[in-house]
Amino acid sequence: MTKSIFLLDKMAQPNLVFIGTSGGGEAMLRQLRSTGGFRINGSLNIHVDPGPGALSTGRRLSQNPEDLNAIVITHKHIDHCHDAPLLIEAIMHSCSQEGKKPECCLIGSETVLYGDENKDRGISLFDQKRLGNGNIRNGNIIVSYSGKALALSSNGSQASIICTKTSHRDKTGFGFTMELDGIKTGYTSDTEYFDGLPALFEGCNILIANNIRPDNGGGLSGHLYSETTARLLSEVKPLLAIITHFGVTMLDAGPENEAKRISDKSGVQTVAACDGMSVDLLNLKINGR
């Protein structure tokens, strides 16, 4: 971990930092790896899918919530949203100390912000109101869904986001493509492969895929596994692919072994993320491995 922190301090921007690289029930509950999601840092700083460990592991990696411009929560599963209230708490705490109003946006699926069929929200109305300065319609709180285009701006910097479709248990979930500082990054979020998925990530320089299981996935639906990730990459052809969000079987199989198999099958350079790994997006240099 110390090595990663040293490298992160020297990391050129824009960059990606992987705070937690496991996902799904058992890997998360046993905390075989952290489950804190990842950050895209550049002229804007964005934390994506802050599951358990986003605050604690993020702090150890100098990925502090106080400098965030946005939190993106792609769907209401606990491995994607659990620590968001902690990030919001930290942002509110620093704002109250400095006498400022929060400017960080919260971008979430309908289930995250409005609630599921039982009206259970991923993020409480209380926290949404705090981040929205008492008003969830003031522009800080943004509900998103497949096909929605967003422009996120702060102090003259802008990120263009297009939300992509997913096929997953939470039907309101989304992935995205994001253009920030001249780099187009794609993120599948949790989804299974479907016709039309590759077209959504056309032109991405980097593609991050939630590859929860190895091989052929053992009949798992709603998620990508090595075989379908390779199929996706062979059609998208990004410069670099990063697999993350590993379940227990993936960790047992060895994410690096699976990344090599995916590279060989797809012809796309594929790297298995690990906690603390960072990627210099301009030069595609990978640190912390």
Chain residues that interact with Zn ion, rule: CB under 5 A: 23, 77, 79, 190
Shortest spacing between CB 76 and Zn ion, in angstroms: 8
Least distance from C-beta 265 to Zn ion, angstroms? 23
Closest CA to 58 of 87, 78, 29: 87
239-272 burial, b at 16+ Cβ within 10 Å, e below that, comes to: ebbbbbbbbbbbbebebeebbebbbebbebebbb
Angle at 123 between CA 116 and CA 176, to 5 degrees: 80
In terms of CB distance, is 79 or 227 closer to Zn ion? Answer: 79
CB-hemisphere CA count at 13 Å for 285?
11
Nearer to Zn ion, 77 or 213 (CB): 77
Q: In terms of CB distance, is 25 or 267 closer to Zn ion?
A: 25
Q: In angstroms, rounded to a whole number, what is the distance separating the alpha carbons of residues 9 and 58? A: 13
* Closest distance to Zn ion from the beta carbon of 22 (Å): 9
Task: State the CB neighbour count (10 A cutoff) for residue 59.
Answer: 13
Nearer to Zn ion, 77 or 82 (CB): 77
**For residues 27 and 207, which CB has a smaller minimum distance to Zn ion in the complex?**
27
Q: Give the DSSP per-residue string, 49-107.
A: ---TTHHHHHHHTT--GGG-SEEEE-SS-HHHHTTHHHHHHHHHHHHHHHT-----EEE
Cα angle value 21/272/289 (rounded, 5°): 90
Closest CB to Zn ion among 49 and 258? 49
Q: What DSSP line would sit under 176-226, residue for residue?
A: EEEEETTEEEEE--S----TTHHHHTTT-SEEEEEEEESTTGGG--SSEEH
Q: How far is the CB of 24 from Zn ion (least distance, A)?
A: 6
CB of 267 to Zn ion, least distance (A): 27
Closest approach, Cβ 190 to Zn ion, in A, equals 4
**Integer Cα distance of 249 and 128 in angstroms:** 36
Q: Looking at beta carbons only, is 25 or 139 nearer to Zn ion?
A: 25
CB of 144 to Zn ion, least distance (A): 16
